[in-house]
Structure 1
Amino acid sequence: MFCHPEVVQQQKLPPLVATLKSTAKDNAASFHFPGHNRGRVAPSSLTKLIGQRPFIHDLPELPELDNLFSPEESILEAQKQAAEVFGASETWFLVGGTTCGIQTAIMATCSPGDTLILPCNSHISATSTMVLTGVVPKYISPDYDCDWDIATAVSPSEASSK
């Protein structure tokens, strides 16, 4: 029996990646978040820099992609595989993006009145979570890479001075 090379490649991919790849091929219009619609409406400054390709598989939670809140297929299998890689008994993927992850991390590790050391360019959700939980921020400045025009790591000396 002859298998098309693309079918063979799909079989070697992790289940969630294979599902994303298959769904992206449909090239259907998306009226869901993320709102950049697979790069077609991403900021032009970004697509000029990295192109549209990175957005092709950035799809929203659609029925054909499984259900993040109650996974049964490719997401469940991906979570099991991630848990195995992490050496954890279970792993759950975020259902609320970066904001949800940052809120969860702060609320799980800090109590009211605790001090949290974080870089001054932190995601805005860190600030709102500290306000809601009574955690006190201590801001530090990350190093800056002038060639790339981005903030980079926090130096050990900067972190230890706080």
Structure 2
Amino acid sequence: MDYIARQQEAPLYEALCAYAEEKNVPFHMPGHSQGRGADIKLENLMGARALAADITQVLDMDDIHRPYNYTKRAQELAAECFGAEKTWFLVNGSTCGNQAMLLAALKPEQEVILPRCAHRSLQAGLIFSGAIPRYASSPYDKETGVSLAVEKEEMERLQACYPHVKAWAVTGATPYGACADIKAISDSAHAHNLPLLVDEAWGPHFGFHPGLPKSALSLGADCVVQSAHKLLAALSQASLLH
């Protein structure tokens, strides 16, 4: 099966639709029991079909924490689509992805270079991991006062000051549209044998149109977090960890 044909598959969606049509008597969460106990206002807002598909991790419907069936296949298709070796679906936004990324890459007392204006989820990841931040300064727009993307030269300056760092972490795209030169930063990080971690929460659409920047994954980033709910069509809190 070729790429286009594979990407037409929607295993998790199809499994949810099938379960909703089975007319089960649910003794599982959520308490609205596939819409049977929902207030009519909620049903009018969400739709009966959406409520029927709102289920927990019941038998044969897979487990997002240990996927083996529909979710596993859906994540494999997502990885192929975004150009990742492996992709995980996240339900707590890119915040949990950024925290997991730092926890996976760093041990307590290890140093990491990252922009001072990085999202607070990365700051939380530092606390959870016990890693030591070495903050890089970012330029800013003098007219608006908005921080721009960190530059390769600043990352290299910090690297020279702190030669024992274990990783570089950057914001790929800011909420205001400033994009880092991920290719240059990636090449420099790898020249120092360091992984590049990218918070690309505001760039999940990159790489899908020639008029947009290339994705961090395609430019050599080692671990990337993207918010599928911010600029793609997923529901709130849906994110991706590659």
Equivalent position amino acid for 1:95 in 2: V
Q: How far apart are the structure 2 equivalents of 1:125 and 1:149?
A: 22
Give the alignment's TM-score, normalised by structure 1. Answer: 0.51
Deviation at 1:101, TM superposition (A): 0.7
Give the Å deviation of 1:81.
1.0
Residue 121 of structure 1 and its aligned partner are, at CA, apart by 1.5
SS in 2 for 1:151: coil
Would the aligned equivalents of 1:145 and 1:152 in 2 still touch at CA under 8 Å?
yes
Richer in helix (by share) = 1
Change (3 A) 1:78 1:144: farther
**CA distance in structure 1 between the partners assigned to 2:121 and 2:92 by the alignment:** 12
* SS of residue paired to 2:113: strand
Q: Which amino acid in the other structure matches residue 142 of structure 1? A: S
Higher relative contact order (CA 8 A, sep 6+): 2
Which blocks of at least 5 consecutive residues in structure 2 are unaligned? 1-6, 18-42, 47-52, 159-242
Match in the other structure for 2:10: 15
Q: 1:120 aligns with which of 99, 116, 121?
A: 116
Structure-2 residue corresponding to 1:132? 128
Instruction: State the Cα deviation string for residues 126-160 of structure 1 (Å, max 9, x = none).
Output: 22222232211111122334577643321111111
Give me the identity figure in percent.
Answer: 29
**In the alignment, which residue of structure 1 is the partner of 2:45?**
29
Residue 69 and residue 110 in structure 1: after superposition, are their counterparts in 2 closer, same or farther (change >3 A)? closer
Q: Deviation per CA, 1:84-132, whole angstroms, max 9, x where unpaired?
A: 34353x4321232212111111111111111111111112122222223
- Taking the aligned partners of 2:99 and 2:65, their CA distance within structure 1 comes to 18
Q: Secondary structure at the match of 2:76?
A: helix
Q: CA deviation at 1:68?
A: 4.1
Task: Indicate which of 151, 154, 159 corresponds to 2:155.
Answer: 159
Equivalent residue of 1:144, what SS? Answer: coil
Cα distance 1:107–1:69, how it changes in 2: closer, same or farther (>3 A)?
A: closer
Tell me the distance in 2 between the aligned counterparts of 1:29 and 1:92.
30
Report the Cα distance in structure 1 between the residues aligned to 2:139 and 2:55, rounded to whole angstroms: 43
**Pairwise CA RMSD of aligned residues?**
3.7
Once the two structures are superposed, residues 37-64 of structure 1 have per-residue CA deviations (whole angstroms, 9 ceiling, x without a partner) of xxxxxxxxxxxxxxxxxxxxxxxx9449
SS of residue in 2 equivalent to 1:93: strand
Task: Summarize the Cα distance change of 1:95–1:70 in structure 2 as closer, same or farther, 3 Å threshold.
Answer: farther
Q: Distance in 1 between matches of 2:139 and 2:8?
A: 38
- Cα 1:139–1:87, aligned 2, differ >3 Å: closer, same or farther? closer
Counterpart position of 2:80:
84
Amino acid at match of 2:135: Y
Q: Would you say the 8 A contact 1:68–1:95 is kept in 2?
A: no
Q: Which amino acid in structure 2 is aligned with residue 161 of structure 1?
A: R
CA distance 1:111–1:146, change in 2 (3 Å): same
Q: Kindly provide the amino acid, as one letter, of the partner of residue 29 in structure 1.
A: L
Aligned CA distance change for structure 1 residues 99 and 160 (closer, same or farther; 3 Å): same
TM-score by structure 2 length? 0.36
Aligned length: 112
Say which SS state the counterpart of residue 134 (structure 2) adopts: strand
